[in-house]
Amino acid sequence: NAASKGTYEFYMLKEIDEQPGVMRRLSQDYLDENGEPLVDQKIVDAVANADRIYIFAAGTSYHAGLVGKDLFEKYTGIPTEVGYASEAGYHFPIMSKRPLFIFLSQSGETADSRVVLKEANKRGITSLTMTNVEGSTLSREADFTMLLKAGPEIAVASTKAYTAQIALQAILAKAVGEKLANQDAKDFDLKHQLALAAEGIQEIVDGKERFAELAKKYLIASRNAFYIGRGIDHAVALEGALKLKEVSYIQTEGFAAAELKHGTISLIEDGTPVIALINDPVTADLTRGNIQEVTSRGASVITIVGKQFAKENDDVVLPDLNYYLSPLLTVVPTQLLAYYASKEKGLDVDKPRNLAKSVTVE
């Protein structure tokens, strides 16, 4: 039974561990043996016809949308915006001539997103919902649906739905980009990359004890913490921070690495945990400089770094993966750090206080 905890103490760890399987399933179901996307032609045509993509979501799904923006812009060339559904519903963005809306929602029931979709339908804007729940409200009310196929996600803190949303957006971006004759999309060896992602996640979760140690050593006694990263790592920094704070109650902020020095660095004290993410070839060295800035103010830095950028003293080295898909790997240590921080503090990992799995009020 997919929804049973089995030998796991908490669903969250089970769901983290399931991510390699989710990557393989998405590859199998949405890519043919030659790696060509198997996406409903009507969906591909609708997105390819758009002059702008607007992604709306909440919480962790919003953070997956930030990665989606980079994927869509890289592989389709279509300008893409990402917005909080809760904001867009009452402050509708100025529309391009041929907009296409994508709703990302694990549950497919988030009220904030439904408000935007209702308005889109009123205005005749074409919409696609990516959701984990077949027949959910957002999927029924949108023109098109794609399923995340992550299996039931029970823990309130979302993990496997996030990585599934990234992989599925990559598949759609490749399909649409190929239709638009985008060379990067044609060259995007997604089947191979998703296989590498599955292997890489497996490698990380196989070494999960490391994250229990790091959480114990650096996080659980701390009142606050920071995630920093640039480029696509900034998006993961926001998600890593949300995950840690929601399950461990350690107040955590995610920052564009260089922005800390413009104010927030005043919060760095002796022992403040700063978790730095490095996968962006363009800014890797600059982020190292930002690490120096916080280290010299006493921060305890944990580095999570792609193999090609790794230096001797890095804490966590990630296997190689395409930059645009690197969040599939980078996020996993952040999920594990959050999980172990919560568990070591003796909290109810799966049901943090004040939170609900799906929020059906605005």
Distance CA 111, CA 117 (A): 10
Residues 320, 196 contacting (CB under 8 angstroms): yes
Q: Whats the size of the chain, residue-wise?
A: 362
Contact call for residue 137 and ligand G6P (CB under 6 A): no
Toward ligand G6P, which CB reaches closer, 110 or 252? 110
Contact call for residue 362 and ligand G6P (CB under 6 A): no
Toward ligand G6P, which CB reaches closer, 214 or 247? 247
* Minimal distance, residue 192 CB to ligand G6P, in Å: 28
Strand partners, 57: 84
Contact call for residue 136 and ligand G6P (CB under 6 A): no
Which is the catalytic residue, given 149, 216, 345, 357? 357
Contact call for residue 60 and ligand G6P (CB under 6 A): yes
Distance CA 287, CA 78 (A): 29
Contact call for residue 107 and ligand G6P (CB under 6 A): yes
Which of 58-66, 117-125, 198-206, 309-317 is the region at the interface with ligand G6P (rule: CB under 6 A)? 58-66
Toward ligand G6P, which CB reaches closer, 309 or 339? 339
Distance CA 349, CA 59 (A): 17
Which of 23-31, 226-234, 290-298, 349-357 is the region at the interface with ligand G6P (rule: CB under 6 A)? 349-357
Record the tokens describing residue 362, joined without a space.
């605005």
Distance CA 219, CA 333 (A): 14
Distance CA 138, CA 61 (A): 14
Contact call for residue 358 and ligand G6P (CB under 6 A): yes
CB contact burial 184-208 (16+ within 10 A = b; e otherwise): ebeebebbebbbbbbbbbbebbeeb
126-131 and 99-105 strand pairing = parallel
Instruction: Tell me which of 13, 16, 53, 59 binds ligand G6P, using CB under 6 A.
Output: 59
Residue nearest to ligand G6P (CB): 59
Contact call for residue 355 and ligand G6P (CB under 6 A): yes
Toward ligand G6P, which CB reaches closer, 157 or 274? 157
CA distances from 208 to 52, 157, 205, 212, 220 (A): 40, 18, 5, 7, 17
Distance CA 240, CA 257 (A): 14
In the block, tokens 């199998």 appear at 28
Rounded to the nearest 10 degrees, what angle do helices 190-206 and 327-344 cross at? 20
Instruction: Tell me which of 106, 127, 129, 248 binds ligand G6P, using CB under 6 A.
Output: 106
Toward ligand G6P, which CB reaches closer, 91 or 353? 353
Which of 45-53, 55-63, 88-96, 114-122 is the region at the interface with ligand G6P (rule: CB under 6 A)? 55-63
Residue 117: burial class (beta carbons within 10 Å; 0-12, 13-18, 19+): buried
Contact call for residue 58 and ligand G6P (CB under 6 A): yes
Residue 284 sits at the vertex; the CA angle it makes with 211 and 71, to the nearest 5 degrees, is: 85
* Minimal distance, residue 239 CB to ligand G6P, in Å: 10
CA 361 to chain centre: 23
Is 357 one of the annotated active-site residues of the chain?
yes
Contact call for residue 105 and ligand G6P (CB under 6 A): yes
Toward ligand G6P, which CB reaches closer, 65 or 333? 65
Instruction: Tell me which of 19, 76, 86, 110 binds ligand G6P, using CB under 6 A.
Output: 110
Contact call for residue 283 and ligand G6P (CB under 6 A): no
Instruction: Tell me which of 76, 86, 129, 158 binds ligand G6P, using CB under 6 A.
Output: 158
In the block, tokens 């004040």 appear at 354
Residues that bind ligand G6P in the complex, under the rule CB under 6 A: 58-61, 105-107, 110, 113, 156, 158, 355-359
Q: Which residues are catalytic?
A: 357
